[in-house]
Each structure stands twice: as C-alpha cells, then as structure tokens.
Amino acid sequence: MAEDDEEPPTSKLLSFDTDSSSKSPKPPNLTPKLILIVVTCVAAAIIIAFGFLFFSSSSSSSHQPDVVSRPLKKLKHPVVLLISSDGFRFGYQYKTDTPNMNKLITNGTEAQLGLIPVFPTLTFPNHYAIVTGLYPAYHGIVNNYFLDPDNTTGGEAFNMKSYDPKWWLGEPLWETVVNHGLKASTYFWPGSEVNKGGWTCPQFFCKVYNGSVPFEERVDTVLNYFDLPSDEIPSFMTLYFGEPDHHGHKVGPDDPRITQAVERVDGMIGKLIRGLEERGVFEDVNIIMLGDHGMVGTCDEKLIFLEDLAPWIEIPKDWIQSYSPLLSIRPPPSYSAKDIVTKMNEGLKSGKVQNGQYLKVYLKEELPDRLHYSASGRIPPIIGLIDEAFKVEQKSSKRKECGGSHGYDNAFFSMRSIFIGRGPKFARSRKVPSFENVQIYNLVTTILNIQGASNNGTISFPKTILLPNH
C-alpha cells in the first residue's frame, strides 16, 4: 500500500504595512513597481506550468502502451512462427544471460509465472494439445506410449513413430490453416508427419523428425521460407528444439550443463532474429516461443516399488502401461479395478511401503476434474499420481543415479514452461497471468483471422492477450 502523500503546510497570506495610527484600515499601497513584480511572477509560473504539461505530455505519448496491433511493413499477410524449446522449465531463463529471449520479452508479452502444461506433463500429449487446443483425453495422445484399448494383450501400441491418423484426433493448426487455403510449414512437431484431412505433410514444408539435424540448419530452413514470393510464405510455421529437455533428463534441472543448453537455445533465437531483421520482416512476424513442460530432479532414493505391495495385492508387470511419472495400470477385464485401487491405497497408507505416502492411486473417473484425464478409453482404468520428484518401479534395484523427469501433476510449479509472444499482435513489455497451453490454438487462429475447429480453449481468451486490429 502506498503511503499517503503528506499535505503541504497551510500557506500564509502576505501582510502589507498599514498606518497603525489610522482608525480604519487602508487598502495596501501597491506601487506600479510592485504590481509589475507580481504580474511577472504570475506570468512566469503560468509559462513554467504549461511547459511542464507540454513536455510531460510529449514524453508520455512517446512511451504510450500499444492500443491496437501494428500494421505490417513488408509482409502481405499475417505470419505466426511457433517455436518449442522442449523441457524449458520456467525459471531457466534466469539461470544465465539470455539476451535474445530478453529481446522478445522486452518488446513482447510474457506469461509472468509461466505456461501451464496439460496433464500428463509429457512431450507428445502437450505438443499436440498446443496445436489442437484439446486436452489429451480428447485429442487422443494420452501418453508418449500406450496400448490400443481394443487389443491390450500384445496388440497394437502407440509410440512416438506412430503416423496412422487413427491415433491423432482433433484438428491441428497446420490442418486448419491449409483448410482455409493458406500455407503452413512444420519443422519437427509431434503429429505433423501424419497425413490428415487437408494436410499431406508436403516435402518442402514438412520435415519428418530427425533429432540429428543441427539446430542451425533448422533455423536456416525457416528463414529461407521468408525468401519465397510473398504469396508463398507460409502463414503458420513451427520450429522445434529438443533442448534443454535432452540434458534435463540426463543431469536434472540444476546442473551447469542445463545452463549451457539454455544458452544454446538462446543463441538459436538470436540467429533467427538476425535473419528476420536482415530480411526486413522481424517486426511483421508474430513469434510465439514456448515449452511443452518443465523438469524436476530425481534420484534413486526417491523410489516406490510395486513389489512392496505384495502383502496387499500383486501387481504383475504386464498390467503396467507406464510407471513414472504417471503410473498407468490396465488389469485384465476379469479383475475389479475398484478392488485393486482399494488394496493398493491400503498398502501405500500402511507406513510399511517405502515412500508409499508419495503415491496415490485412483480410478480414472475419480481423478481430480482439473486434470481432464478420464474421458477416453485409451486412458487405463487405474491411474497413480506420484508426488514431485518421486518414481515408481516394479522392483528394487541397486542403481544409483540422479537425473530429471516430467509428466507429474501439472499443478506442480516445476512442470511449468514459458510463454513469450512478440510481434504486431502482441503488446510490448506486457506481463499476463499464467494460462493453460490449450489456449494457444485460438490465439493463432485469431492472429491469422481464420475460423478454428472446436476445442477446449476459451473463445474469448485471445482478447485478453492480443491487441485488437488497427
């Protein structure tokens, strides 16, 4: 609370000499010289006041916040460049000097406390949520790996190289864009290799994932798109970097090597900015830089072993679809999922299971509603929520290692990532509250002035982030 301004002391009226011997007061004897002095002082005060107002107004007008979006200077149509830095935990930007990201932040809009991922906070579910505006239960990619619920005994399974469109529900942004007669390009984004709807993953504008491609080559390819004739420049582009996630898993979020990975990503942003400036289009491009999830440190002393539950219930290995950080269990139909959950929680609460208090098991329909993780047959009937930094394994081992992981409850602050928007549709130096990444889809369609598909984002949300049209 600001302190109250101290009131100025009461001004005293100037008294003029009078003839004390006179019985009645006489008016002050204002000589012409005194009148001239008073008038001069008043005039000077007026001039100073007007001067102050004028320069104050001029100064403030030159720094007035953006009211409407800025007109394009060179490009003939709006362009959105969506950049993902995988595993960029919110706060990494403060670990080291990031001048290029800071350039985007200073001249753009930032989620002040980070971007909130969807649950589970894994790479594929979140990247596809960003481009469809749907929670995983609705876009179909409920985990990085999962079994086909129609055949769970050795049947077909989804993995990160599954390109059959039957897995990928919803309408991703590249499909929405081409359905409106515009061009889109993707440089590595989960789901972009899938031929779906009007999107055929055209060779020139769609790159099939290859992690060995240098970051520099990825940036150069995107920059080359801006050398095309105006009507050939894609309206929507994606660019993906696998750092700092790669190092995060190896060494955790607090190792000096993470700082180096962050610096590398910032260097690529600098290369991109310079390339756009050289082409005279930097001010025209709406850049959205974000991450898919955060990262938390894990060590082997923070383990929970399912074999320790044997006195209460046996959990065979072939029931498990994923262990950590999301425990997913699909028992055979002959078993009662409810009974399994009851017995597991009984053992976990007994105090006789190592770290048992850090795992709670649910029927999927009883998970907290805020997770939006029940309305799909692809989600196994039993889900275990693991506390931050803990892991679940089938049985004990003698491994001694530390690293990093993600996939935990998206309420954990460590799972947050970043959001930066910079371009003609984003206000400069603006901070906005955190929001879920399912809102990104509607942001992009609003910038491109196209009608998006039905999604879980809020229709009115873009108005809270974007500048209105000029």
CA 321 to chain centroid: 28
Total number of residues shown for the chain: 470
Q: 352 with 307: CB under 8 angstroms?
A: no
Write the pLDDT tens digit of every residue in 121-131. Answer: 999 999 999 99
- Residue 322, H or E segment: strand 320-322
Distance CA 109, CA 113 (A): 12
Distance CA 306, CA 313 (A): 9
What confidence tier does 34 reach under pLDDT thresholds 50, 70, 90? very low
Q: 95 with 462: CB under 8 angstroms?
A: no
What average pLDDT does this structure show over 71-81? 97
Please provide the average confidence, as pLDDT, over all residues in the chain.
Answer: 88
Task: Give 153's strand partners.
Answer: none
In 122-255, which residue ranges form alpha helices assigned H by DSSP? 123-132, 136-139, 173-179, 215-225, 245-251
Against a cut of 0.75, is the pTM above it?
Answer: yes
What confidence tier does 154 reach under pLDDT thresholds 50, 70, 90? low
What average pLDDT does this structure show over 34-56? 46
User: What pLDDT sits at residue 301?
Assistant: 83
Model confidence at 268: pLDDT above 90: yes
Distance CA 258, CA 251 (A): 8
Q: Is 123 a catalytic residue?
A: yes
Q: The tokens of 243 are what?
A: 């750092």
Distances (CA, A) of 257 to 93, 96, 246, 253: 14, 11, 11, 9
Share of the chain above pLDDT 70, in %: 85
Number of Cβ within a 10 Å radius of residue 274: 14
What confidence tier does 403 reach under pLDDT thresholds 50, 70, 90? very high
Q: Is the peptide bond before 325 cis (omega within 30 degrees of 0)?
A: yes
Write the pLDDT tens digit of every residue in 204-242. Answer: 999 999 999 999 999 999 999 999 999 999 999 999 999
What confidence tier does 302 reach under pLDDT thresholds 50, 70, 90? very high
Token look-up 């403060």 returns 94
State the burial class of residue 33 (Cβ atoms within 10 Å of its Cβ: 0-12, 13-18, 19+): exposed
Q: 189 with 127: CB under 8 angstroms?
A: yes
User: What pLDDT sits at residue 44?
Assistant: 52
Q: The tokens of 331 are what?
A: 């028992």
DSSP conformation class of 399: -
Distance CA 272, CA 289 (A): 12
What confidence tier does 470 reach under pLDDT thresholds 50, 70, 90? confident
Q: Name the catalytic one among 109, 123, 445, 446.
A: 123
DSSP conformation class of 415: G
What confidence tier does 64 reach under pLDDT thresholds 50, 70, 90? low
Distances (CA, A) of 236 to 33, 63, 356, 432: 76, 31, 47, 24
- In degrees, to the nearest 5, what angle opens at C-alpha 269 toward C-alphas 266 and 274? 130
Model confidence at 295: pLDDT above 90: yes
| DSSP, residue by residue, 298-315 | EETTSEEEGGGGTTT---
User: What pLDDT sits at residue 300?
Assistant: 81
Distances (CA, A) of 468 to 67, 235, 370: 8, 19, 31
* Cα Rg, the chain, nearest whole Å: 31
Q: What are phi and psi of 251, to 5 degrees?
A: -125, 0
What average pLDDT does this structure show over 411-438? 98
Distance CA 422, CA 200 (A): 29
User: What pLDDT sits at residue 299?
Assistant: 86
- Within the chain, how many helices (H) and strands (E) appear? 11, 18
Distance CA 196, CA 178 (A): 11
Distance CA 463, CA 263 (A): 33
User: What pLDDT sits at residue 57?
Assistant: 39
Model confidence at 60: pLDDT above 90: no
Distance CA 134, CA 115 (A): 16
Model confidence at 14: pLDDT above 90: no
